[in-house]
Structure 1
Amino acid sequence: MICISIHMERGHCPLAGLVTVTLPSGHRSGSGADTGPILKEIERIPDSYQVVHSRDNRVNLSLNRDGRVNYIYSNYNTEREVAIWLEQVSDKVLDVEYVLLVGLGLGYHLKALIEKFPHKKFFIFEPDAYLFSLSIHACDLSELLSHQNIVGLTVGTNEQILKEFIDRLTERVG
């Protein structure tokens, strides 16, 4: 399993920030190390992960699991799906300072949240490192992920990385 945790400081692009990578062998790399070869390892995305286009010509991702293709977003109208979701969660987001978004996908939901709630602080948890890697290769997410209100981004399910993420979340939120 490959896990990365990107720790961000306000206004910095997370992809240029501290990257912690845990590889199956248990080797670990932090901010002082050359992460180039390690990040190349993440680029070896299984064939079951694919970049596709929805019928409304938006970039989408598909996962083939057990012979069944699942799309990350609607294969017909991504914009409408995001708008319906935003309407459904808006009441829950309205009265909080911090929002935890589980799953980044291609950032469509995050972008909608930031546009509607520009003063909220966001923690993002993407459990699938391959999906994250495919996303940052399919779309330029640097501007979105460097938004000043994103205070945390964690990718992967490694126990230590999750503990660090929860510690940062609870330290910040209280």
Structure 2
Amino acid sequence: MEERDWNIVAQQALDDDNAFDELYEHFFPRIYNLIYARVKNSSVADDIVSDVFEKLVEHLGSFDSSKASFTTWLSRIATRTLTDYYRWQSHRQNVEWDDVFSPTVDKKEMPDGQLLEKEGKKELLLALGKLSEREQQIIELKFWGDMSNKEIADTLGISAANVGVILFRAMGTMRQLLGRE
């Protein structure tokens, strides 16, 4: 399947509702997962993601593909909006991460299976919480944000090689913490 040029779609979205809908449909899950992975609360994530897409609509006319890809541009909006949220909040909330990997739980699962899955998620999230803030951010952008190392590098203002090294080390630490090495 051919990769979509989101820079072109973003330019078209200025005048074409269908192009905007396509952007929204493609990027909403990525942005939602990225935000949800940080705030650990679906209603807060809904509010922040709504703010991100409001900013997208408001500033789409200023998007310049010669400065950054659309994916990077939107990811920066998301990370800045999240930073603004934490500034406003003044401290992180301690809430459960019930459905980090899938915001909707399959109701057909057996209770025993749900318990095992929840325990596995809890163990993973505890291990993730032991990483540095930078390592957590890179893992979240990579796996929940579905971003490439280059996109992460552009978003965070570091080199792609540095992203790769940090990711490699963080994943090794996670394996050790989870006893899987």
TM-score (structure 1 length as normaliser): 0.27
Structure possessing the higher radius of gyration over alpha carbons: 2
TM-score (structure 2 length as normaliser): 0.26
